[in-house]
Structure 1
Amino acid sequence: MAEKRIAVLVSGGGTNLQALIDAQGRGELGGGVLAAVLSSRADAYALERAEKAGIPGYVVARKDYPSPQAMTIALVEKLKALSIDLVVLAGFMHILTEEMVEAFPNAILNVHPALIPSFCGKGAYGLHVHEMALSYGVKVTGATVHFVNEEADGGPIVLQKAVEIREGDTPEILQRRVMEEAEWKLLPQAVSLFCQDKLAVEGRHVHILP
C-alpha cells in the first residue's frame, strides 16, 4: 500500500496538528505521513509546531485573495503541487468553496467539537460551540470527525466520541476536556483508518472496514 501524503490546514495554535504529530511519532498514522502544514495566517503558532517536527509549512493567507473562492483555488493548486492524498482541517477558520471538495472527494477530514448534528453549521466554531452546548443544557457533548462536503459540517460522519458535561463547566473548561478526551484521540484514529484504506463511503454512511 502506497504511503499517503497528508496536508494539515490550520489557522491558529495547532493543538490538533500536535496530536497528529505525536501520533506520527508513535507510528500511529497507518502508513500516512504529514507532508505539509498550510496556514491561513503567517503568525499561526501551528507553523512553529510544524517546523519543530520537520514538516514543511506554507502560508496561504486569506487577506492575499479577493474572495474565499480565490483562496480555495490557490490552496487546491498548492495541495496538488505537493501530491497530497488527504487534507485535514484542524482549526482552519475559513469557508472553503466547492473547488476543494471537487479536487479531494471523500479525502478531506474535519474535526468538530460537538456531536453532529448538534451545535454545528454556520457560526458554530471554536468556543461558540461549547457556549451553545452549555446554554442548551445538554448532559453530553463530544467531538465528530467527518468528511467535508459542500455543506458546513454536513459531510458523512467517520467517528464520534461523547464527553460528559459537568457541574460548573465553563466554555473554556469544556473546550479543553473535549480536546483531551475526544478530538486528540479521534482525529489521528480517523487519519489512520483513511491511510489504511479502511473507510468506505456510501451516501451518508461511512463503513469502517476490517
Structure 2
Amino acid sequence: MRKDKINVAVLVSGGGTNLQAIIDAEKSGIIHSAKIALVISNNPNAYAIQRAKDASIDTYVVSKKDYNSQEDYENAMIELIKKYEIDLIVLAGFMVILGNSFIKKFENRIINVHPSLIPSFCGDGFFGLKVHEAALKKGVKITGATVHYVTTDVDAGPIIAQKAVQVFDDDTPEILQQRVMKEAEHIILPNSIQNISEEMVKNV
C-alpha cells in the first residue's frame, strides 16, 4: 500500500530546538512528505520531551544506564523503531554514539545535523559548544551546519546539505551556537527531511 508520508523518529538528548524546528516545519507544510511518529530521548530531563508531548508525539525515554550493554540499549530502541514502522531516523542533538550494528541495520536511513561545515570541526570529541569553541579558537570567519547521513565513522557520512554562517569578532561560543542553530540548523534539517522523505515516498 502506497504511503503519502513516511514515519520519522527523532532522537534527542537536550533542549530540543532542532526538534521544535522540525515540528514547526511539519505544521507549516515545509515538511509535507513526512510525519514525526516517535521521539526517543536518552535523557529523562531533556526539555525536548516536553516539546514532543506538547505536539502530541509519542515519546519514550531509553537511557543507556538502564541497560547492561550497548546491544541491549540499542535493541530497546530498535523495538520502538519497528513498532512505529519508522522509515527515517533523525539525530537532533543526540549525544550518544550509536554502535556499528545499529547503524548498519538502518543504513542510509539515519541522518544527523552537525554544527559546523564538515570536514571542519567534526569527528570524535567535537559536539555541542566544543565545536563553536574550536571554531573561535581557530579564528574562522565562516562556520555553519551540515546535515549528513550517519555511517560507522563519526561525522564522515555523505553530506546532504550545508549552510554557512558568519562569525563575528565579539562572538562567544554561546552566541555563535545560537546563530548557527537559527540561521543554519533550523533551516537545513527540516528541508533535508522533506527532500529525503519526498524521494522515499516516490519509491515506496
TM-score interval, smaller chain: over 0.9
Runs of 4+ in 1 over 2 A off after TM superposition: 66-70
For residues 83-137 of structure 1, what are the alpha-carbon distances to aligned partners after superposition, in whole Å with 9 as ceiling and x for unaligned?
Answer: 1000000000001001222221111110000000100000100000000000011
Aligned to 1:79: 81
Q: Distance in 1 between matches of 2:187 and 2:69?
A: 34
Q: Displacement, 1:57?
A: 0.4
Q: Displacement, 1:24?
A: 0.5
Q: Displacement, 1:71?
A: 1.6
State the secondary structure of the residue aligned to 2:157. Answer: coil
Does structure 1 residue 167 correspond to structure 2 residue 164? no
Q: Distance in 1 between matches of 2:173 and 2:37?
A: 33
With normalisation by structure 2, the TM-score equals: 0.94
Contact 1:36–1:55 (CA<8 Å) still a contact in 2?
yes
For 2:100, give the aligned amino acid: E
Aligned to 1:181: 183
Aligned match for 1:118, one of 94, 117, 120 = 120
Q: Indicate the structure with greater helix content.
A: 2
Q: Distance in 2 between matches of 1:187 and 1:26?
A: 15
For 2:42, give the aligned amino acid: S
Q: Displacement, 1:42?
A: 1.4
Q: Distance in 2 between matches of 1:72 and 1:122?
A: 20
Identity of aligned residues (%): 52
Contact 1:41–1:62 (CA<8 Å) still a contact in 2?
no
- Please, which runs of 5 or more residues in structure 1 have no aligned partner? 199-210
> How many equivalent pairs are there?
198
Aligned to 1:13: 15
Contact 1:115–1:162 (CA<8 Å) still a contact in 2?
yes
Contact 1:6–1:35 (CA<8 Å) still a contact in 2?
yes
Q: Distance in 2 between matches of 1:36 and 1:63?
A: 21
Q: Distance in 1 between matches of 2:199 and 2:190?
A: 14
Aligned match for 2:64, one of 53, 62, 84 = 62
With normalisation by structure 1, the TM-score equals: 0.91
For residues 141-188 of structure 1, what are the alpha-carbon distances to aligned partners after superposition, in whole Å with 9 as ceiling and x for unaligned?
Answer: 000000001011010000000101001000000000000000000000
Q: Displacement, 1:195?
A: 0.7
Greater relative contact order (CA < 8 Å, ≥ 6 in sequence): 2
Aligned to 1:25: 27
Q: Distance in 2 between matches of 1:25 and 1:81?
A: 24
State the secondary structure of the residue aligned to 2:199. Answer: coil
Describe how 1:70-109 pairs up with structure 2 within 5 A.
Answer: 70-109=72-111
RMSD: 1.1
Aligned to 1:145: 147
Aligned to 2:45: 43
Q: Distance in 2 between matches of 1:101 and 1:122?
A: 17
Q: Displacement, 1:41?
A: 1.3
